[in-house]
Amino acid sequence: MKLYKRIAQALNAYKGNHISQEVTDAWTDVIARCNDELPSGSGFDSGSKVNIDLSTPEKIVIDTAFHHMDNNGYYCGWSHMTVTVRASLQFDFDVKINFHGYKRASNDSEYFYDTFNDVLSREVDIPWKRLETVNA
């Protein structure tokens, strides 16, 4: 399953769960394992994380930041971003990035979009091991 679909599925189950804390914890674990697949390193030095509070099954919100380097190889600032992923009938999903604070250059934006499009469209195998235990 593609990563963006697994995240949406986990959010739907997490937010719609009225069964038990154990089931909620199981879905939280699935979302955490999805976070492990999001950009981390190569400039995304603080990692990326699904914002569970702002996300819905129809809209995934990801918080991240990019650590810029200048031409001399020194760190020169951070771009803090909110990445919003929504369904698209034509392209499976659409990525919108809102920048907060420092933004070094517009040519970096293409890299950010490409990175998130590539990562979110990757096939992942994130099983529901804890859920199998819960339902057993």
Give dist(CA 87, CA 122) in Å, integer. 16
**Sequence letter at residue 98:** N
Please report which residue ranges of 17-105 form alpha helices under DSSP H. 21-35
Domain spans of the chain, in order of start: 3-135
pLDDT tens readout for residues 16-71:
876 788 888 888 999 999 999 999 988 899 999 999 999 987 899 999 999 888 88
- Stated pTM of the model: 0.86
